[in-house]
Amino acid sequence: MTDQAKTQKIQKINGVRGMNDLLPADAAQWAHLEHVLRDLTRAYGYEFLRTPIVEATAVFQRGIGEVTDIVEKEMYSFEDRLNGEQLTLRPEGTAAIVRSVVENNLLYEGPKRLWYTGPMFRHERPQRGRYRQFHQFGIEALGFAGPDIDAEIILMGQRLWDELGLKGVRLEINSLGQAPERAQHRAALVTYFEAHKEQLDEDSQRRLLSNPLRILDSKNPAMQELIEGAPKLLDYLGEESLKHFEAVQALLKANNIPCKINPRLVRGLDYYNLTVFEWITEELGAQGTIAGGGRYDPLIERMGGKSAPACGWAMGMERVLELMKVSGSLPEAQAQCDVFVLHQGGETLTAAMIIAERLRSAGIDVILFCPPDGQSASFKSQMKKADASGAAYAVIIGPDELAKDEAQIKDLRASGQQKAVALDSLVEAVIDAIVGATE
């Protein structure tokens, strides 16, 4: 340690508030979730589309809508100092996916089923289930107009919760109708809220003029009663919109998917029409929405593409993992390797390293002991590491074994038995042992 370091403790640098490291201890859970999601998308014929994490700010301003929580106060936007471009760390996936679909003309050959996953960024107050960097998985079905696809994407969600063993997830659904229906409802809403203006909080007073529908989305407990009594959009839907909504519900019913109509469900983004829905749990406190989505027929045209209907949903991966924990359905921690190789340094290390490489070439996962001090360590302390690694077998090469061109194979799980094997046939012996144990 330098004198300066001794007298003045060197400050460590911390991560950004609300942006978390996903630590190795949790890696298996994330891998499990990602694995299930990949299988799900395959089962329904969805293709993976990976867009950049940074987009032009206009993508979200125009896509999500100016008068939304996300665009008004949650976006990480900045000017690229090198060329003056206005950029934003993506707060959600849909607007970026549509930007890409339009730019790459992906609907040229007909409709597309797409999925995405990755980190999203929103400047919110960090708390349980709410972070500034979080991860979403989402699906988008583009170019399909009928209620069948609305129902299919909801079935996908239900299948996912079942696969993941989630308990207590309920589906809430609503219809936002079409723009003219919302305009009529909006007029009624404004009249209603103006008559009760003194009960509106500051945000909602502002929204009264800019986007009164958003008031229904408010989580402010003091306003819930007022919101409960507000005119319901469902009462303003025309025949076509009602028909679509009823068809979605009928398909859900035919597939035994229970759902509750929530006339106040409006979703926090501006691009939706017709069907909207959320999956909600009571198990995670205030951050109880694990996924949400709906139909967004106007968006593709709004982003400069040829008008085409679309719908989709997005899920928060941290919230889903948290709910898996609460539901007791997280997978067991996995072993780090199949085989742990022990040695005594020098020539035994050289032999051990060659053996480890041969085992890996045969498809076996191997950790080769490396002494932290670069010297060597007792077999006893190495064996402790081997046990902790979760490996099924230890391969031990000491000077005595090497002198006879042998190694010891030790069963670390069931029998604890140990036997000497010629180095030449060690790979086969390990494979036989692993295959034999799984039969």
Q: What are the residues binding ligand ATP (CB under 6 A)? A: 92, 122, 124, 129-131, 134, 136, 268, 287, 289-292, 314-316, 318-319
Adjacency order of strands within the sheet including 54-56: 54-56, 86-89, 76-79
**SS3 call for 80:** coil
Nearer CB in complex with ligand ATP: 287/336 = 287
Distance, in Å, from the CA atom of 419 to the CA atom of 239, rounded to the nearest integer, reads 78
Which CB, 97 or 291, lies closer to ligand ATP?
A: 291
The region, left, alpha or beta by phi > 0 then psi within -120 to 50, assigned to residue 363 is left
**Shortest Cβ 148–ligand ATP spacing (Å):** 23
Nearer to ligand ATP, 19 or 27 (CB): 19
Report the residue number, 182 or 267, with the smaller CB distance to ligand ATP.
267
State the nearest-atom distance from the C-beta of 420 to ligand ATP, in Å. 55
**In the complex, minimum distance from the CB of residue 323 to ligand ATP, in angstroms, rounded to a whole number:** 10
Token pair listed for 126: 């960090």
**For residues 302 and 410, which CB has a smaller minimum distance to ligand ATP in the complex?**
302
Structure tokens at 67: 């008068």
Q: In whole angstroms, what is the distance from residue 350 CA to residue 369 CA?
A: 12
- How many helices, marked H, and strands, marked E, lie in the chain? 16, 16
Q: What is the DSSP letter of 89?
A: E
- How far, in Å, CA of 288 to CA of 35, rounded? 24
For the bound state, the minimum distance from the C-beta of residue 59 to ligand ATP, rounded and expressed in Å, comes to 15
Are residues 28 and 330 in contact, defined by beta-carbon separation less than 8 angstroms? no
Residues 6+ apart with CB under 8 A from 331: 28, 29, 32
Instruction: Find residue 47's DSSP bridge partners.
Output: 114
For ligand ATP, give the closer residue by CB, 285 or 346: 285
In the complex with ligand ATP, the residue whose CB is nearer, 122 or 185, is 122
* Smallest distance, ligand ATP to C-beta of residue 228, A: 18
Q: How far is the CB of 139 from ligand ATP (least distance, A)?
A: 12
Query: Are 413 and 434 in contact, with CB atoms under 8 Å apart?
Result: no
In whole angstroms, the minimum distance from the beta carbon of 40 to ligand ATP comes to 17
Strand 339-343 to strand 366-368: parallel, antiparallel, or no bridges (unpaired)? parallel
Comparison of 291 and 407: residue with beta carbon closer to ligand ATP? 291
Residue 396 Cβ, how far from ligand ATP at the closest point, in Å?
47
Q: Is 214 helix (H, G, I), strand (E, B) or coil?
A: helix
